[in-house]
């Protein structure tokens, strides 16, 4: 599960980087002096958090190799929060009614000069897909942490069930050595010390 989560985080980071390269909004302005000018705003310009979030996902993919247990769950929570932020960035292109005001600030053109805007949804769709993939990776990380916890609990209970049987606690070589010495490896060593006459029986 950890490997699958790591691969998913890397793919999501690559998707965010790719989304930052696509044009999200075209803004056309006209100052009344020359020809209308159209400026394309890329995802990295429109949503400046895309690239930092991609770097964060790569760091989370690397960190998943080094953490286990509750730190892995904490990392999964961080990844889930990143997924929520990423999804908001993608959906905001649909949710905002008018992008002209924001586009004018980014393109450094007065709002009064804006004569038209056009949205391009390819980068936003990739961002939303990356957010969904990131959330799936967070779920995988939580499940992996839970499985490791339950596995460790089962392992810690197994020695307690076997420690009452000296024969199971001894290795095969130790059993043969005990038999060569005339001792019964199934007996309690403290009993042998208390009753030295039991050797060879």
Q: What is the pLDDT of residues 154-189, one digit of tens each?
A: 444 445 444 455 545 556 667 767 766 767 666 655
| 112 and 191 inside one domain | no
Q: Which residue has the higher pLDDT, 71 or 17?
A: 17
| 173 and 109 inside one domain | no
| 156 and 171 inside one domain | no
Expressed in angstroms, the distance from the first to the final Cα of the chain is 55
| 109 and 12 inside one domain | yes
> CB–CB of 158/92 below 8 Å?
no
> How much is the pLDDT for 150?
54
| 168 and 156 inside one domain | no
Q: 153 pLDDT exceeds 50? A: no
| 35 and 117 inside one domain | yes
| 102 and 172 inside one domain | no
| 41 and 106 inside one domain | yes
* Bridging pattern class, strands 37-42 and 23-29: antiparallel
Q: How many folded domains does the chain comprise?
A: 2
pTM above 0.75, yes or no: no
Nearest residue to 117 (alpha-carbon basis) of 40, 50, 19: 40
| 61 and 125 inside one domain | yes
Cα separation, 193 vs 198, whole angstroms: 9
75-130 tens-digit pLDDT: 999 999 999 999 999 999 998 888 888 888 888 888 888 888 899 999 999 999 99
| 126 and 189 inside one domain | no
As a whole number, mean pLDDT of residues 58-77 equals: 88
If you ran DSSP here, which 8-state letter would residue 171 be given?
Answer: -
Contacts of 179 (CB under 8 A, 6+ apart): 185
Structure tokens at 171: 């290795």
Domain with 176 in it: 164-197
> How much is the pLDDT for 14?
96
7-54 tens-digit pLDDT: 999 999 999 999 999 999 999 988 778 788 888 999 999 999 999 999
For residue 118, the surrounding DSSP H or E stretch is strand 114-119
- The lowest-confidence range among 137-146, 160-169, 186-195 is 160-169
| 86 and 181 inside one domain | no
| 78 and 119 inside one domain | yes
Strands annotated E in the chain: 23-29, 37-42, 114-119
């Amino acid at each position: 599960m950890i490997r699958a989560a790591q691969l998913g985080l890397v793919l999501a980071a690559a998707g965010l980087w790719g989304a930052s390269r696509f044009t999200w909004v075209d803004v056309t302005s006209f100052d009344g002096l020359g020809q209308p000018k159209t400026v394309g705003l890329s995802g990295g310009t429109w949503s400046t958090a895309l690239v930092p979030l991609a770097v964060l996902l790569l760091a989370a993919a690397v960190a998943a190799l080094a953490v286990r247990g509750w730190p892995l769950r904490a990392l999964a929570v961080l990844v889930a929060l990143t997924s929520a932020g990423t999804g908001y960035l993608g959906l905001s292109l649909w949710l905002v009614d008018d992008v002209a005001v924001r586009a004018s600030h980014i393109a450094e053109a007065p709002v009064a000069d804006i004569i038209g805007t056009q949205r391009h949804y390819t980068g936003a769709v990739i961002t939303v897909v990356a957010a969904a993939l990131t959330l799936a990776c967070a779920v995988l990380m939580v499940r992996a942490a839970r499985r490791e916890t339950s596995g460790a609990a089962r392992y810690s209970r197994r020695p307690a069930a076997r420690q009452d049987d000296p024969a199971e606690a001894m290795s095969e070589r130790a059993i043969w050595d005990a038999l060569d010495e005339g001792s019964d490896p199934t007996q309690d060593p403290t009993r042998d010390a208390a009753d030295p006459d039991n050797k060879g029986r």
